[in-house]
Amino acid sequence: MKKRVVITGLGVVAPNGVGVKDFTQALKLGKSGITFHKELKDLNFSCQIGGIPNISEDLKSQYFTDLQLRGFNSSGILYGCIAGIDAWKDAGFEKNTESQLDYDTGLIFGTGTSGVEKFREAIYKLDDNQVKRLGSTVVVQTMASGISAYLGGMLGLGNQVTTNSSACTTGTEALLMGFDRIQAGKAKRMLVGSCSDHGPYIWGGFDAMRVMTYKHNENPEQGSRPMSASASGFVPGSGAGVLVLESLESALDRKATIYAEVLGGEVNSGGQRQGGTLTAPNAEAVQRCIKKAIENSGIEANDVEVINGHLTATTKDALEIENWTKALKRKRKDFPYINSTKSTIGHCLAAAGAIECVASVIQLKNQFVAPNVNCEDLHPDIENLIGSEPIATQKIDLNFKVIAKASFGFGDVNACVLFKRYIA
């Protein structure tokens, strides 16, 4: 018999809030964490704004030893470890001593690229004949699984400890992979999440692709405009989100706080066919992903009351809304509330799915719908499909049970998960 899976801990490092308390407040207020960055201007970037979490040296010292921080230059691993330890403590656990090993708990923590700045730092003054002088701290910070290696060791986790990577879908995919493992009885708990570095060597390629906005360098908080008629591309962001998944049986046994239940979900690919490409979604596959996620969750399309969309402030926003209407067979006033966390944090790339899953669970637990900022001029194609009522521009207090979260990534890959309010 498949086990029920619940969420017992949350951790987040986002541009508009570090920690669940500050992030929750930012969500309620529609507070932006997007700022101007002179470094990007000096490098002649078209987009000179972005979302970078505010991490002080004092905060770093609360999570890392001086030895760990020596030669450390990977912002994604930094964000992931802070969010992961916060989630672990939020679930009611402490960091294990060096002699303890927890075979009941594993970790699936995704990323896109790791330690690009560290690698640049290491090779900057070397030529090919000096490659052996890269340094001993390079490998663990630049390997994709660096984040899971760091965090798994910090917490002494003995179940599966691994890293996934699936572009913007990474975090939502990691959650569903952890969900599957607990549901199958292979683990009691799984830390799941994803992280992303920040900086010009991460964001430069997107600037070259001309998919980032260039129109709001003077007013950065207005730059990220999902579903808006005046959207001109996404704003890059960075950070990490982590959730502690646990079997319901285990959570009840230890009287843990339960944020929500994970009902189920689906991961698929459009195969870069039927209109899908490396950078564009196959609409039929997106719709299938949503439908199968609902089916796998044992609910009906009409049970979905709120959606936290992918919605990046690009030309694909209207297509995403259309895909939701077709998958749910619901339009206009019958359509659920929908919001995009990216309006306040930007597109956090590989970290996006995990941070937005945390945002979805926070809204469900606290019974509110976070506002969409910069969406007063709703895109006309979206207005024709669902009208303006489902798109809140102010916080709405709402008694609801089910929220859907979806992520769609480069490579034509999709993931959708359903969360339900847990009532004992």
DSSP string, 259-313: -EEEEEEEEEE-TT-TT--SSS--HHHHHHHHHHHHHHTT--GGG--EEE----S
Joined together, the tokens standing for residue 216 give 């709001």
Boundary residue ending a domain (227, 253, 279): 253
Residue 410 is part of a domain; what is its CATH number? 3.40.47.10
Do residues 249 and 270 both lie within one domain?
no
Q: Is 341 part of a structural domain of the chain?
A: yes
Distance CA 191, CA 91 (A): 10
Boundary residue ending a domain (198, 225, 253): 253
Phi, psi of 396 (to 5 degrees): -120, 125
Do residues 240 and 327 both lie within one domain?
no
Q: Is 259 part of a structural domain of the chain?
A: no
Distance CA 7, CA 246 (A): 6
Do residues 181 and 133 both lie within one domain?
yes
CB-based contact 102:94 (threshold 8 Å): no
Do residues 343 and 403 both lie within one domain?
yes
Q: Is 66 part of a structural domain of the chain?
A: yes
Instruction: For the chain, 424 residues long, give each residue's pLDDT as a single digit of tens.
Output: 899 999 999 999 999 999 999 999 999 999 999 999 999 999 999 999 999 999 999 999 999 988 888 777 789 999 999 999 999 999 999 877 677 899 999 999 999 987 677 666 666 666 666 666 666 677 777 788 999 999 999 999 999 999 999 999 999 999 999 999 999 999 999 999 999 999 998 999 999 999 999 999 999 999 999 999 999 999 999 999 999 999 999 999 999 999 999 999 999 999 999 999 999 999 999 999 999 999 999 999 999 999 999 999 999 999 999 999 999 999 998 999 999 999 999 999 999 999 999 999 999 999 999 999 999 999 999 999 999 999 999 999 999 999 999 999 999 999 999 999 998 8
Do residues 46 and 121 both lie within one domain?
yes
Do residues 248 and 311 both lie within one domain?
no
Do residues 224 and 268 both lie within one domain?
no
Q: Is 213 part of a structural domain of the chain?
A: yes
**Total of domains in the chain:** 2
For residue 420, list its beta bridge partners. Answer: 261, 402
Distance CA 378, CA 110 (A): 33
Distance CA 217, CA 329 (A): 39
β-strands 260-269, 413-420: how paired?
antiparallel
How many CB atoms are closer than 10 A to CB 210?
Answer: 11
Boundary residue ending a domain (195, 226, 253): 253
Domain that holds residue 30: 5-253
Phi, psi of 121 (to 5 degrees): -60, -40
Burial 379-399 (b: 16+ CB within 10 A, else e): beebbebbeeebbbbeebeee
Q: Is 299 part of a structural domain of the chain?
A: yes
Q: Residue 267 has what pLDDT?
A: 98
Distance CA 137, CA 73 (A): 9
Helix (H) or strand (E) holding 90: helix 75-90
Do residues 249 and 321 both lie within one domain?
no
Do residues 65 and 203 both lie within one domain?
yes
Q: Is 359 part of a structural domain of the chain?
A: yes
Distance CA 405, CA 338 (A): 10
Q: Is 150 part of a structural domain of the chain?
A: yes
Do residues 221 and 312 both lie within one domain?
no
Do residues 276 and 340 both lie within one domain?
yes
Do residues 247 and 274 both lie within one domain?
no
Burial 76-100 (b: 16+ CB within 10 A, else e): bbbbbbbbbbbbbebbebeebeeee
Helix (H) or strand (E) holding 402: strand 402-409
How many separate helices (H) and strands (E) can be counted in the chain?
16, 15
DSSP letters, 158-227, are: -S-EE---BTBTHHHHHHHHHHHHHHTTS-SEEEEEEEE--SHHHHHHHHHHT-B--S-TTSGGGS--TT
Q: Is 258 part of a structural domain of the chain?
A: no
